[in-house]
């Protein structure tokens, strides 16, 4: 078997540098919350394929469902020859999604596809073209996804002109001194200076910003956005690609809010490791595009659909929403204990198990991305995989499978404590 170094050398020779790779080790096996590399070393996985594995690696129910489907057929292209399993999955999601009135669901393959199609649907339904998004948001790496994303490096850098009629609103932040009222006033100012509200098709927002730093959307802002949309005939899109399927303690993060969106994008953990995405929304809005206007060759792939059914079963039967809330509380309590001892920990935030810790330099309050890198490197050396996030790369997010055992979770918390303590300002100074 090849070593990690041999595989890395082959990757560098065969694949472009634009596909950034964080780890120098290579997976050969994965089970629930553990990854095993090419040389037999195990890592506790607090990345979960970037929020894809809320039900863990190779959950037995998911594996069994895919195996059963493999014995029937693997692909027909749903637009050519449809099948019941995809219809049944749409029915389940229509019943579960926090959408007012009758709902319909369309399936795609990736989160970026879901976002692009949500914008297509909104534009067709309204006859308008402009879209408002938020600074710090992440909505994908396609051209429209990049335009919607509110961060230049590394997503937009060097890729030329972005698609037009996409404007950004500041996201509220106590640390940055931006209030909910200021965000809403910024949107109102755009309507005065940059775009007629009667040309705006949609406002798209993540209930909790993902790449932007795990920043929860204040309830008052969602209420203000809903009012703004209703006033001007604009559709509200909730991007739940990263927040969905129990991560925040609810099946959909929008269940934490009193308002309802018109459309919801979903992907990542819906498929339990298989690629599937979708848009669920108000039936009248979803029916706006003409036949053939939506779809994709692999949309509603039968293997991924089978996995998604199993994921929904596991979330319900294993009470993963409640599990997410309990694990998130344990994590926040540990991080808050560390915060009291560490002047570099600026904030612990999140909802359910969508938790992040932000690091700043104690004397200047400047973002401390260098320390975040050191913590992630130290944790990896101790056998724990962590991911950074945030506009300045100075936050660490925690995306463990919600199926992780209590013992392994406790072991991971100890490693986090060691990694943070070993890089603390006083430890470095000593």
pLDDT digits (tens, 9 = 90+) for 299-343: 999 999 999 999 999 999 999 999 999 999 999 999 999 999 999
pLDDT of 430 reads 40
Beta-ladder partners of 356:
349, 397
Distance, in Å, from the CA atom of 141 to the CA atom of 155, rounded to the nearest integer, reads: 7
pLDDT digits (tens, 9 = 90+) for 95-121: 999 999 999 999 999 999 999 999 999
Burial of 72 (0-12, 13-18, 19+ CB in 10 A): exposed
Smallest CA-to-CA distance from 402 within 309, 302, 322 is with 322
Contact at 8 Å (CB) between 309 and 65? yes
pLDDT of 177 reads 86
CATH 3.20.20.70 fits 73-317, yes or no: no
The rounded mean pLDDT for the chain is 96
* Residue 234 pLDDT > 90: yes
Angle between helical axes of 320-341 and 406-422 (0-180°, round to 10): 20
Distance, in Å, from the CA atom of 336 to the CA atom of 362, rounded to the nearest integer, reads: 16
HEC assignment per residue over the chain: CCCHHHHHHHHHHHCCCCCCCCCCCCEEEEEECEEEECCCCEEEECCHHHHCCCCCECCHHHHHHHHHHHCCCCCCCCCCCCCHHHHHHHHHHHHHCCCCCCEEEEEECCHHHHHHHHHHHHHHHHCCCEEEEECCCCCCCCHHHHHHCCCCCCCCCCCCCCCCCEEEECCCECCCCECHHHHHHHHHHHHHHCCCHHHEEEEEECCEECCCCCEECCHHHHHHHHHHHHHHCCEEEEECCCCCCCCCCCCCHHHHCCCCCCEEEECHHHHCCCCCEEEEEEHHHHCCCCCCCCCCCCCCCHHHHHHHHHHHHHHHHCCHHHHHHHHHHHHHHHHHHHHHHCCCEEEEEEECCEEEEEEECCCCCCECHHHHHHHHHHHHHCCEECEEECCCCCEEEECCCCCCCHHHHHHHHHHHHHHHHHCCHHHHHC
pLDDT of 397 reads 97
Beta-ladder partners of 27:
37
Q: Where residue 176 falls among pLDDT bands split at 50, 70, 90?
A: confident
**% of the chain exceeding 90 in pLDDT:** 93
Establish how many alpha carbons lie within 13 A of residue 42's alpha carbon, considering only the half-sphere containing its beta carbon.
Answer: 8
pLDDT digits (tens, 9 = 90+) for 378-420: 999 999 999 999 999 999 999 999 999 999 999 999 999 999 9
> Is it true that the peptide bond before 90 is cis, omega within 30 degrees of 0?
no
**% of the chain exceeding 70 in pLDDT:** 99
* Residue 429 pLDDT > 70: no
Distance, in Å, from the CA atom of 315 to the CA atom of 292, rounded to the nearest integer, reads: 33
Same CATH fold, 73-317 and 4-58+319-429?
Answer: no
Q: Residue 182: enclosing H or E segment and its boundaries?
A: helix 180-193
Lowest pLDDT segment from 161-170, 239-248, 400-409: 161-170
* Residue 8 pLDDT > 70: yes
Beta-ladder partners of 277:
108
Lowest pLDDT segment from 20-24, 34-38, 134-138, 244-248: 20-24
Beta-ladder partners of 216:
208
* Residue 1 pLDDT > 80: no
- Break the chain into its structural domains and give their ranges: 4-58+319-429, 73-317
pLDDT of 178 reads 92
Give the residue with greater pLDDT, 424 vs 293. Answer: 293
pLDDT of 364 reads 85
pLDDT of 426 reads 66
Contact at 8 Å (CB) between 301 and 293? no
Contact at 8 Å (CB) between 165 and 129? yes
Distance, in Å, from the CA atom of 254 to the CA atom of 261, rounded to the nearest integer, reads: 8
In 3-state terms, what secondary structure has residue 198? helix
CATH 3.90.1150.10 fits 4-58+319-429, yes or no: yes
**Ramachandran class of 121: left when φ > 0, alpha when ψ lies in -120 to 50, beta otherwise:** alpha
Average pLDDT value for residue range 190-201:
97
Cα-based angle 394, 400, 405 (whole degrees, multiple of 5): 140
pLDDT digits (tens, 9 = 90+) for 252-279: 999 999 999 999 999 999 999 999 999 9
């Amino acid at each position: 078997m090849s070593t990690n170094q041999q595989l890395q050398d082959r990757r560098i020779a065969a694949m472009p540098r634009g596909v950034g790779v964080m780890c120098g080790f290579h997976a050969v096996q994965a089970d629930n919350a553990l990854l095993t590399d090419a040389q037999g070393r195990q890592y506790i996985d607090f990345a979960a394929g970037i929020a894809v594995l809320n039900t863990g690696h190779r959950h037995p129910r998911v594996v069994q469902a895919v195996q059963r489907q493999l014995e029937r057929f693997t692909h027909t292209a749903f637009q050519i020859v449809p099948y019941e399993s995809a219809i049944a999955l749409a029915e389940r999601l229509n019943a579960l999604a926090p959408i007012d009135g009758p709902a319909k669901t369309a399936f795609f393959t990736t989160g970026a596809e879901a976002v692009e199609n949500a914008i297509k649907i909104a534009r067709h339904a309204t006859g308008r073209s402009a879209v408002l998004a938020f600074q710090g948001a992440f909505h994908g790496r396609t051209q429209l996804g990049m335009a919607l994303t509110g961060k230049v490096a590394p997503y937009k850098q060097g890729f030329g002109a972005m698609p037009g009629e996409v404007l950004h609103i500041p996201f509220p932040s106590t640390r940055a001194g931006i209030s909910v009222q200021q965000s809403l006033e910024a949107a109102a100012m755009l309507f005065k200076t940059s775009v007629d509200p009667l040309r705006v098709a949609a406002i798209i927002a993540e209930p909790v910003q993902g790449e932007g730093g795990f920043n929860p959307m204040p309830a008052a802002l969602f209420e203000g956005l809903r009012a703004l949309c209703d006033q001007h005939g604009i559709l509200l899109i909730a991007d739940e690609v990263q927040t969905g399927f129990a991560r925040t303690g609810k099946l959909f993060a929008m269940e934490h809010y009193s308002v309802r969106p018109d459309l919801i994008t979903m992907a990542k953990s819906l498929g339990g490791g298989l690629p599937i995405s979708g848009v669920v929304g108000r039936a009248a809005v979803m029916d706006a595009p003409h036949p053939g206007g939506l779809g994709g060759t692999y949309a509603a792939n039968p293997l991924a659909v089978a996995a998604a059914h199993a994921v929904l079963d596991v979330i319900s039967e294993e009470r993963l929403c409640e599990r997410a809330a309990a694990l998130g509380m344990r994590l926040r309590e540990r991080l808050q204990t560390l915060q009291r001892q560490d002047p570099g920990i600026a904030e612990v935030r999140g909802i359910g198990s969508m938790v992040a810790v932000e690091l700043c330099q104690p004397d200047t309050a400047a973002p401390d991305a260098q320390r975040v890198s050191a913590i992630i490197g130290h944790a990896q050396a101790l056998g724990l995989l962590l991911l950074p996030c945030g506009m300045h790369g100075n936050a660490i997010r925690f995306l463990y499978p919600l199926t992780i055992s209590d013992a392994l979770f406790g072991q991971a918390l100890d490693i986090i404590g060691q990694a943070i303590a070993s890089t603390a300002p006083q430890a470095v100074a000593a």
